[in-house]
Amino acid sequence: MAAQPLTNALTIDVEDYFQVSAFAPHIARSSWDTRECRVERNVGRILEMLAERQTKATFFTLGWVAQRYPGLVRQIVDAGHELASHGYGHERASDLSEQAFFDDIQSAKSILEDIGGVEVQGYRAPSFSIGEGNLWAFDSLLRAGYSYSSSVYPIKHDHYGMPDSPRHVYQVRPGLVEVPITTLRFFNRNFPSSGGGYFRLLPYALSRWMLNRVNTVDQQAGVFYFHPWEIDSDQPRVDGISSKTRFRHYVNIDRMEHRLKQLLCDFLWGRMDQIFLGAAQQQPRMAPALATA
Superfamily of the domain at 7-290? Glycoside hydrolase/deacetylase (3.20.20.370)
Distances (CA, A) of 188 to 96, 183, 221: 33, 12, 20
Choose among 182, 216, 213, 187: nearest CA to 199: 182
Nearest to 140 by CA among 179, 181, 107, 170: 107
Q: CB–CB of 277/9 below 8 Å? A: no
**Beta partners for residue 224, in sequence order:** 10
User: Hey, what amino acid is at 84?
Assistant: A
> Between vectors from CA 40 to CA 37 and to CA 46, what angle results, nearest 5°?
130
Q: For residue range 92-132, what is the model confidence (pLDDT) as tens digits?
A: 999 999 999 999 999 999 999 999 999 999 999 999 999 98
Cα angle: 209, vertex 214, 216; to 5 degrees? 90
The per-residue pLDDT string of the chain (293 residues; one tens digit each, 9 = 90 and over) reads 556 789 999 999 999 999 999 899 999 999 999 999 999 999 999 999 999 999 999 999 999 999 999 999 999 999 999 999 999 999 999 999 999 999 999 999 999 999 999 999 999 999 999 998 999 999 999 999 999 999 998 876 555 557 777 889 999 999 999 999 998 887 778 777 788 888 999 999 999 999 999 999 999 999 999 999 999 999 999 999 999 999 889 999 999 999 999 999 999 999 999 999 974 455 656 644 333 32
* pLDDT for position 282: 55
The model's pTM is 0.92
Q: Minimal CA–CA distance to 64: which of 7, 126, 136?
A: 126
In angstroms, rounded to a whole number, what is the distance separating the alpha carbons of residues 128 and 150? 8
